[in-house]
Structure 1
Amino acid sequence: MLKLLSNQGVTAPKGFLASGIHCGLKKNNLKLDLALIYSEVQANAAGVYTKNKVKGAPIYITKEHLSNKKAQAIIVNSGNANTCNGSDGLVKAKRMAELQGKALRLKTSDILVASTGVIGVPLNIDAIKDGIPMLTERLSKEGYEDAATAIMTTDTYKKQLAFEFKIKDKVVTIGAMAKGSGMIEPNMGTMLSFITTDLNISGEMLSEALKESTKISYNRVSVDGDTSTNDMVLVLANGLASNKEIVEKNDDYYTFIDVLNTLNITLAKMIAKDGEGATKLIECIVSNCKSEKDAEILSKSVINSPLVKTAIFGSDANWGRVLCALGYSGVNINPDKVNLSFKSSVGEVEVCKDGMPLPFDEVKAKEILLKDEIQILISMNSGKYSSKAWGCDLSYDYVKINGDYRS
């Protein structure tokens, strides 16, 4: 049985500590900008990264360090993406790992690195160097709050949670923290997620589980259609729950993947809801499709449509924009079979059947769309497959935030 652990994050599992400080990367000295997650024992580890051809320097270093599927700590900075800085960026990302490894008395290769913030600005490695002693000293079980705060950029709130579940007779805990607000169309503004667990699972199975879970969670989120250079999901599993090691896709593996999916989908929805300037979470569910891939493409086409997003912002049941987004998705559809409705906590209104308009109550539709979580329900009536995607509305504030992001 899955149990939500209230007000907890990456330090909930056995053997994990965390911290967060201000080291000077952000101009405002009240804003934390450097975070650390540490396992008291070496952990099996896995990662999934952005598909953007332009990648942040930390991604190259982290992938290199994860070649043995082992790690013991993750250092993350905000305020600077350390991207498009050439060899200087790679040197500094490696230096972050070296400095943190030395402070923890670990091998450099056991330290993973992530960055988020402005692209094309040299990273102030001296500020990080000066901050690492305090960052290390402040590691604690209570440090998850500061760590989750330190990775934020334009996020309006911390995104973290933890669950407890059982593998046979062993209690296992999983925790996570994430950030993301703009420049998000992961396919795995920057989307970062860091997951910790005391589960005993092989590196190979952990990697397989993360890839499997990412496909139906973070990869189905889009805030603005921009795939960031620094998107990264990392997971550490230190084995301290002492369950029998999971080395194959057995019942224990599927118990874990179910929990991992719940955790990642919850975080993905938090990220979508906190899109830059967003006022509403949009969940698009496409059903009765010819294939799951087609359903995924169609659902993402809808949530990526600026016209759909602005209609939802204005609480306007302009369903023709939804059909338009389905039509240019690239999927071969029959528009004469499409059914469509809008739904929220106060009810549901059907607006289209077999591609044709239905008479509906505009006042009721407005009431439904004024809520902060909106579902767009689409039936293609052409198969048995379905998919979900999560996004947000497009408000005036999105332009304001991104118009002066560097300042």
Structure 2
Amino acid sequence: MPSLSANPAFLVLADGTLFEGNSFGSRGLALGEVVFNTGMTGYQEVLTDPSYFGQLVTFTYPEIGNTGVNSEDQEALHPSVKGVIVREFAQSPSNWRCMQSFESWLEKEKVVGISGLDTRALVRHIRNFGSMNGVISTDGKSSPAQLLEKVRNSPTMEGLNLADEVTTEATYLWNSTCDVEFDKRIKPHQGSPYRVVAIDFGIKRSILDRLVSHGCEVTVVPSNSDISSVLQLSPEGVFFSNGPGDPSAVTGGIALAKQLIEEANDLPLFGICLGHQILGLALGGQTYKLAYGHRGLNHPCGTTGQLEITSQNHGFALDPKSLPEERVEVTHFNLNDKTVAGIAFRNRPIFGIQYHPEASPGPHDADHHFSRFVSLMQERR
């Protein structure tokens, strides 16, 4: 049974559905899109992933916080989510890496949480009716009717450029803490590193670490960077990162990708998640919003005869019919619903994948895509 609390809380969805539970974490009000993640592990990585900016994340795993929180599993300095929804949270974590409890961390980071509600019923509701805005209230100051009015007056995810909200303000060189000697997937790189410019639409630290482990020197630039500021860094490859919001609203990133494709003389380009969608949009393709998105660690992707179990976190997808067949090939599909999971340009060193090969959290099946990117740069040396 969920832990009892003297602090009641409400979750109100945009269609008027009301859930009652208990307050935990920070107290207050959190408004955002309600989504769910099906992973059984990695809650700290999920909550600090900038791709979740502006969302209320529901965990389907019944108890969250068992291993507490530590400083090594952060994907960014602070959580990006607006709120957390769980069935039950562990009040007494147990792990040798634990530095503080899950709840104390949420309190410190001012993240509002609600526990004790029926997360199975909530997930079924989202699956039936789609992701929608909602509000968590733990301060007791607003009635459900007032909360519903707030939700219905809030903007939906479609049309929102949230990448500009989470991007870096200044260019920086990533100094990775990972050690390739302890990474059995990678042989230590010999020779000078590959110069990579990463466009930050909400980049995860683990992606930067994987690039470094594969022999890259990564310079991270803001999402509004133009082609001249990118090329003056003399990149051997350009990486388009993951990020939150509606990809079609990231007009600056789309324009940059289009210019690089047309003017950068076969410069290798690699996109993950939002970056993958931006590459498709730069070709004139279109994206659409999924009913409830893909957020979890066990999504099968691939083509006939080749399969990868993948980690995913996205609410939009490329429309395969909108992609020009003479210029781009769909290389991977999500085998659950046949949505586009990977593209590659014909006769150009450019590709994107919809899923997360950095495996933080998640399986390692897709790590070879980093090697693929490096191989494209190596061919140009």
TM-score under structure 2 normalisation? 0.26
Between the two structures, name the one with larger relative contact order (CA 8 Å, sep ≥ 6). Answer: 1
More helix by share: 1
Larger radius of gyration: 1
TM-score under structure 1 normalisation? 0.25
